[in-house]
Amino acid sequence: MIEPINRTGCVVCKHTNLEPLYTIKNFPVFMGCTTAPPETDFTMDMSWVICPECGTIQLDKLVPLEILYQENHNEAIGSIWQKHHSQFADFILKYGGENRLEIGGASGKVAQLARQKNESGKWLILEPNLFDEAPAIPNTEFEQGWFDENYCSPFEVDTIIHSHVMEHLYEPRETLKQINNLLPVGGRMIFSVPNMKIWLRKKYTNCLMFEHTYYLPEEVVEFLVKEYGFKIIGKEYFSEHSIFFACEKVESISLSESTFPRNYQENLALYQDFVDSYQIQVKEIHNKIANYQGPKYIFGAHIFTLYLLAFGLQESDFLNVLDNASHKHDQRLYGTNLRVKSPEYLKKYNQALVVLKAGAYTEEIKQDIWQNINPNILFY
């Protein structure tokens, strides 16, 4: 039994009377794979609420961090992520200083790309779940740990970096306050966030989940960083996937709560449309696969499959869940009985059907399978 962390006020505007929005019952609390038996898995209600004051969609019950991030399971693999990291590395070199702290740098891919062009200065990657073998990167070190209000850097930093971290924060205000405390006036914060407004409009299931506990569109990002003592000096869009921000610390923290965005009706409609769409899609998928007599698989040993199962797809309809991450192969997708296999398994069939709903990565995955594994695979 999990004791959830209760969110008592809005993560953006601090309003306390949050309205119930939608609850997905008994959702798996970990988005990765495991070798443990199914009876050890935990689930929790994914209870979404909306703030009537600013319109922020958010969870009111949070999974304890040591369970949610029990191991690193987000490899950020594929050409989209490679291009993201390359463009973000260039953005850092354009706006950043010489002594850098990267929060949640995982495997160091952004640092590697940046160091190929510039090896000067310091770069420290702080990550709670380091990969077993961290790469050797010039003038770059790894430290295992969490960034919180007690964190002290081993050297004076002039640049703090984070990529797809802000949407994971349970208390973004506290994190931004600590980042402000660690930087000198004129210091830089450079970060990337998902373009959540587009993700939600396109109904990507990795937009809002136990790891992304609040809706963070562009205007909310801008409000939060300005409120906590930063001015935006640069911004770039990476396709429709991400937004890069370069911010500079100014003299004071304003905490001007009167200026927060008010998007209640827009956000309510967006989320209701998301739920309605998946209820319809799952029925369509069920009818499609029920009439298909060949082998059937589902793609994505991650949130994509867990959401489809939560909306009504049946595990028993699929032989396995497919995933490109090799370390997941032959493990079990947490919260299910589905074993993970490589897409290479599809080579042995004349034809097979794969259910593929992987957000921004869907087309890339589909083309890779058609071009490199089996051109006769059917997708739904």
Report the C-alpha gap between 41 and 37 in whole angstroms: 8
Q: What is the CATH number of the domain that holds 192?
A: 3.40.50.150
Report the C-alpha gap between 34 and 31 in whole angstroms: 10
- Is 294 a domain residue? no
Write the pLDDT tens digit of every residue in 205-257.
Answer: 999 999 999 999 999 999 999 999 999 999 999 999 999 999 999 987 877 65
Cα–Cα–Cα angle for 275, 280, 282, nearest 5°?
95
Report the C-alpha gap between 303 and 73 in whole angstroms: 11
SS percent in the chain: helix, strand, coil, step 5 = 35, 25, 45
Write the pLDDT tens digit of every residue in 116-162.
Answer: 999 999 999 999 887 767 788 999 999 999 999 999 999 999 999 99
Place of tokens 């209701």: 272
Identify the three-state secondary structure at position 294. Answer: coil
- Is 317 a domain residue? no
Write the pLDDT tens digit of every residue in 53-73.
Answer: 999 999 999 999 989 987 655
- Is 253 a domain residue? yes
Strand 188-194, strand 242-249: pairing: antiparallel
pLDDT at 255: 73
pLDDT at 42: 96
Q: How far is CA 378 from the centre of its chain?
A: 28
Sheet with 188-194, edge to edge strand ranges: 140-144, 122-127, 99-103, 159-163, 188-194, 242-249, 230-238
Among 218, 219, 94, residue whose Cα is nearest residue 159: 94
- Is 3 a domain residue? no
Please give the average per-residue pLDDT across 338-350, as a whole number: 97
> Is the predicted pLDDT of residue 275 greater than 70, yes or no?
yes
Residue 26 tokens, joined: 């008994």
- Is 106 a domain residue? yes
- Is 97 a domain residue? yes
pLDDT at 188: 98
Other beta carbons within 10 Å of 259: 10
Residue 288 in contact with residue 38, Cβ under 8 Å? no
> Model's pTM, two decimal places?
0.93
Owning domain of residue 177: 79-260
Q: How many domains does the chain have?
A: 1
Give the dihedral of Cα atoms 58, 60, 64, 68; nearest 10 deg. Answer: -40
pLDDT at 152: 92
Average pLDDT, the chain: 94
- Is 115 a domain residue? yes
Q: Give the model's confidence band at 24: pLDDT under 50 very low, under 70 low, under 90 confident, else very high.
A: very high
Strand partners, 162: 103, 191
Buried (b) or exposed (e) across 134-149, using 16+ Cβ within 10 A?
Answer: beebeebebeeeebee
Write the pLDDT tens digit of every residue in 175-210.
Answer: 999 999 999 999 999 999 999 999 999 999 999 999
Among 19, 127, 149, 7, residue whose Cα is nearest residue 64: 7
> Is the predicted pLDDT of residue 10 greater than 80, yes or no?
yes
List C-alpha distances in Å: 140 to 93, 98, 170: 15, 12, 28
> Is the predicted pLDDT of residue 77 greater than 90, yes or no?
no
- Is 19 a domain residue? no
List C-alpha distances in Å: 188 to 26, 103, 379: 41, 14, 45
Q: For residues 267 and 136, which has the higher predicted lDDT (pLDDT)?
A: 267
pLDDT at 368: 97
